[in-house]
Structure 1
């Protein structure tokens, strides 16, 4: 006899360890898809990004860039300013208010979506069990989103009180008179720019031949020239050997291009990279494979232990907050539907300088190394009206396209609003758009964005607002 009765749908349960931008976004998405979700956090909701990373750093960068813009451009713009100074204590209060608002917002979203939040250090016991203090939590699947922490070079003097990491830098109660910054990656460059704008004498010490190695080399050269023009000293091919305290300052000893050299600063910022926070949480005991401390995962972000996933900084694939969020959503989709949609080639990188840097997709050096035939179009922002108004025309846009079909492979921007504009480029790469589709798009005028269309025209040597190359 036929019946209308249907079997009830089985509700999956998911345990997420870590409430940073990977973990909390994953938790909300999983709850929206019908899972029973528990989120475990040892410290503060929002993780490094919201509390001691992306957000507080950008808040202080906004303070410094606003101060710098008024100080440097007011006379030219016909604005009279006198008695201008930075109240660092109030700047820190402003930073704190932004962080508090966002963290409170995340906590509210978790509650609104029915996510159970447990405070404490999560220890993995097996494929379905996490221990949090005296509580034992079980679920169908586990997602590790435990993040990363700053690395310190194991050299003499690395533990001196004035040698700080990015977290310590954000908590400074006074603006240092001088700063030695060990590491010319994104974090070091952003902090150098921030404090130089506030009057701090900054020296960047980088072991590699150039700063910002992941960024397009042509743009890196422009960034370096602009930073040096602002008084920031940049020492590349410089390996730090020791740090010693000298009264109220610190002396950094280094091998600079084969010669012994020293540089002094009131504070020393060590930002030579980050490492996954995977130690002491039971991963190896549970049989999870690690590689140099990073959790090994497949393309679905699943570990070698079925049912356990790892997203964000702890898997070492790409240490960016938005990458962690996207990976978490992909992992949840795989758990709930057996499918996912993560496209690593569309993950943009952003650097918050004046002006900004942003890139997505392939770099020119990559294409050359892999023997991929490509065409390159560049457009100087000195030919763009809005960029001229906002940043004196400083910067450029570079578009790399497949030589045969014109498919856009990479976009690199140095200029005002770069970190917003890069979204259009990411969508173009995701949709496999061609240069022709970019050039046939109508870009609003006057905007910095219309320079994307000009750079696309330049792929075939047809920029409207730039003289043609001499043949």
Structure 2
């Protein structure tokens, strides 16, 4: 099989890989992408996008059962689970097709198969591409970007079986709605599925081994979110672990230990959402200088590995494991390869969003982390109940919190819980990237009536100038 030479090969066509390929094509490189399954990766096909389609459906179901508050009435409201799942899959398919079009438009060559590093010859990295054990192509390039992503971490003794114990993939395509559900893990994935199923009428219990739900978020935001989830009827167990599971024909009995107590619950299905494992196997890392730490490839701040010509991005490397972080890493890696001088990624400027009900979003340092790093802080808060647009929308529950350096006025962090905060957070992200202080934010005119006015009020509150509360 004749070798095909490229300037750059990207292994993996997810949000890191395909963005890297397109940026490289813009910089006049001859680029190949090797993808073994679906263009768009987990995000577009089994993660970010289809889950948002499901969550939108569950939000509509929630509203339909609270129509009286808006002056409407409807009888015999029902839903078709098969149609809900089908819509989610169609949304994913549409966007995956869009990625294929973008790659073609940018003249990126796509190979359908799995890529494996195969040494060096004449200063070029070699990559073998196979599909179902059969050779597809032999490729060479001076640089190869590994963007192979990650998969769900399995819990010992609670391995997924696709029937009673689910991964996120199983949870996205249920054939029937369970009456009860146990979600193990309360990070973004776990809480989003808990919210989706709860809003469709499922009895949901969440177990989290740490002392609070959404543990990476600011403590006040976590506490607010938990109170809201429990008010809706969700059951939450923190500082707890699932010690044992016993499967029956159509149910699972779990033993939960925590806070000095042991309880046993029986549910129809279990979702395991305890993190991810990097896809480092089968890509030819053996015999290279690439370092792997707890299943994730180690890189420098420009995404170089210790093996010359080999780069790594996305879920394959360090946290936070977010699609938009992967895309940015792809651009940084490619621009570095091209001899440009991109800004390295600052983790403190990466927003995180969780699309539960209520939504949660944040950027930068929590109040506790800011204090732990030695900052003297000024903290502002503003509740949704003080905002006219929130009340008009029928969404009066929420809070926006801002954390500033008391000495310089630097915005250290912003943390939100409430309706549409996943859209609002970008205002603070831009402010952080522009190194804004409280002065610029306080002098900014926010439109009325909007939810964004609360962002202004929270800043004002940090400095004793809040107007509307």
Q: Fold conserved (TM > 0.5)?
A: yes
1:156/1:241 contact within 8 Å kept: no
Give 1:391 shift.
Answer: 4.1
Measure, in 2, the Cα distance between the counterparts of 1:464 and 1:237: 39
Distance (Å, rounded) in 2 between the aligned partners of 1:451 and 1:273: 33
Aligned equivalents of 1:402 and 1:438: distance in 2? Answer: 14
For 2:151 and 2:240, locate their aligned partners in 1 and report how far apart those are by CA, in whole Å. Answer: 24
Find out whether 1:369 has 2:372 as its counterpart. Answer: yes
Q: What secondary structure is seen at the aligned counterpart in 1 of 2:206? A: strand
Deviates more, 1:432-441 or 1:334-343: 334-343
User: Residue 430 of structure 1 corresponds to which residue in structure 2?
Assistant: 433
Deviation for aligned residue 1:259? 2.8
Q: How does 1:310-325 map to 2 (within 5 A)?
A: 310-325=312-327
1:71-91 C-alpha deviation (Å, 9 max, x unpaired) = 12x111111211111111111
Of the candidates 88, 91, 100, which is equivalent to residue 84 of structure 2? 91
Instruction: Please name the residue that 1:198 is paired with.
Output: 200
Secondary structure of 1:212's counterpart equals coil
- Residue of structure 2 in register with 1:39 after alignment: 33
Q: Structure 2 CA distance, aligned partners of 1:438 and 1:445?
A: 16
Q: How many residues align?
A: 455
- Per the TM alignment, residue 248 of structure 1 is displaced from its structure 2 partner at its CA by 2.0
> Does residue 1:100 correspond to 2:63, yes or no?
no
2:306 maps to 304
Once the two structures are TM-superposed, the CA of residue 301 in structure 1 deviates from its matched residue by 0.6
Assess if the C-alpha contact under 8 Å between 2:6 and 2:32 holds in 1: no
Unaligned stretches of 5+ in structure 2? none
Structure 1 consecutive aligned stretches of length 4 or more whose deviation exceeds 3 Å? 156-161
Match of 2:177 in 1: 175
- 2: CA distance, partners of 1:151 / 1:225: 28
Question: How far, CA to CA, are the matches of 1:156 and 1:404 in structure 2?
Answer: 50
Alignment of 1:63-78 (within 5 A): 63-72=57-66, 74-78=67-71
Separation of aligned partners in 1, 2:331 and 2:394 = 37
Deviation of residue 209 (structure 1)? 1.2
Distance 2:392 2:61 in 1: 18
Whether the aligned pair in 1 keeps the contact of 2:64 and 2:77 (CA below 8 Å) is no
**CA spacing shift, 1:202–1:173, aligned 2, 3 Å:** same
Other structure's SS at 1:252 match: strand
Partner SS, residue 468 of structure 2: coil
**Cα distance between partner residues in 1 of 2:401 and 2:23:** 35
Would the alpha carbon gap of residues 390 and 179 (structure 1) be closer, same or farther in structure 2, given more than 3 Å must change? same
CA distance in 1, matches of 2:145, 2:203: 44
Structure 1, residues 171-205: CA drift from partner, whole Å, max 9, x if none?
11111111011111111111111111100000001
Unmatched segments (≥5 aa) in structure 1: 1-10, 467-471
Instruction: Report what 1:48 is aligned to.
Output: 42
Residue 15 (structure 2) pairs with residue 21 (structure 1): yes
Partner of residue 409, structure 2: 406
CA deviation profile, 1:80-137 (whole Å, cap 9, x unmatched): 2111111111111211221111111110000000000001111112361111022211
Structure 1: how far apart are the matches of 2:394 and 2:277?
Answer: 36
Correspondence for 1:131 among 128, 133, 146: 128
- Determine helix, strand or coil for the equivalent of 1:287: coil
Provide the alpha-carbon RMSD of the alignment: 1.4
Distance 1:157 1:410 in 2: 37
